[in-house]
């Protein structure tokens, strides 16, 4: 009888412990959800890019998508000054290059992106990449739905924020972001 009682006490003590631990874990989870909830997409985006930027390997791998809603999936890309960048750019939509073409054009500091967009719109025969400009640091080809490409280039050596845009006519209004060099 005595051992049975001992066991019973032990068991209830154990279950109390378990309940206590469980409660704490739930609390932790709750706080996590609250933090994530306040800052939806940007948080995961940011941490993902940070991880890439902190990577000590020689080549910085970045990715970017464009869709049929005329949007990029990221507003910021990050790279270290002078680093070799390998950007995988994908058009995840289904629309044609003629109707909803997307590219990635990285522009030098001080470029007026709306002005550049207007100029690019005139370069119909060159996939909307103006030929008489020195504002472009690097650019991909124009893609249609389902296509993807990899662009290799050297990040600017000067730290700061650079603009990237899609130069398809009218897209710069929505398809623009910051390429952050640190
Ligand atoms: Cu576009």
Residue 172 φ then ψ, to 5°: -60, -25
> Is 176:165 a contact under the CB 8 Å cutoff?
yes
Distance 167 CA to ligand 1 centre (A): 6
pLDDT for the residue 106: 98
pLDDT for the residue 86: 98
Distance 168 CA to ligand 1 centre (A): 5
pLDDT for the residue 79: 97
pLDDT for the residue 169: 98
Distance 28 CA to ligand 1 centre (A): 42
Distance 99 CA to ligand 1 centre (A): 9
pLDDT for the residue 57: 57
> Is 96:145 a contact under the CB 8 Å cutoff?
yes
Alpha helices in the chain (DSSP H): 2-38, 40-54, 97-100, 113-121
Distance 177 CA to ligand 1 centre (A): 12
Mean pLDDT per block of 10 residues along the chain (182 residues) reads 46 42 41 39 46 61 98 98 98 98 97 97 96 97 98 97 98 98 96
Q: What is the CA radius of gyration of the chain?
A: 25
pLDDT for the residue 56: 52
pLDDT for the residue 128: 98
């Amino acid at each position: 009888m005595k051992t049975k009682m001992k066991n019973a006490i032990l068991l209830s003590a154990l279950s109390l412990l378990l309940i206590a631990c469980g409660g704490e874990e739930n609390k932790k989870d709750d706080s996590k959800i609250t933090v994530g909830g306040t800052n939806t997409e940007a948080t995961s985006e940011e941490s993902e890019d940070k991880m890439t930027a902190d990577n000590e390997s020689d080549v910085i791998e970045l990715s970017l998508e464009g869709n049929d809603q005329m949007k990029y999936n990221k507003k910021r890309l990050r790279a270290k000054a002078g680093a070799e960048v390998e950007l995988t750019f994908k058009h995840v939509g289904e629309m044609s290059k003629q109707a909803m073409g997307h590219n990635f054009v990285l522009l030098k500091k001080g470029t007026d992106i709306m002005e550049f967009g207007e100029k690019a719109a005139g370069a119909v025969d060159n996939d909307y990449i103006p030929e008489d400009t020195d504002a472009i640091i690097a650019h991909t080809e124009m893609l249609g739905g389902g296509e993807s490409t990899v662009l290799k280039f050297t990040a600017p050596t000067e730290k700061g924020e650079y603009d990237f845009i899609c130069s398809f006519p009218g897209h710069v209004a929505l398809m623009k972001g910051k390429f952050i060099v640190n």
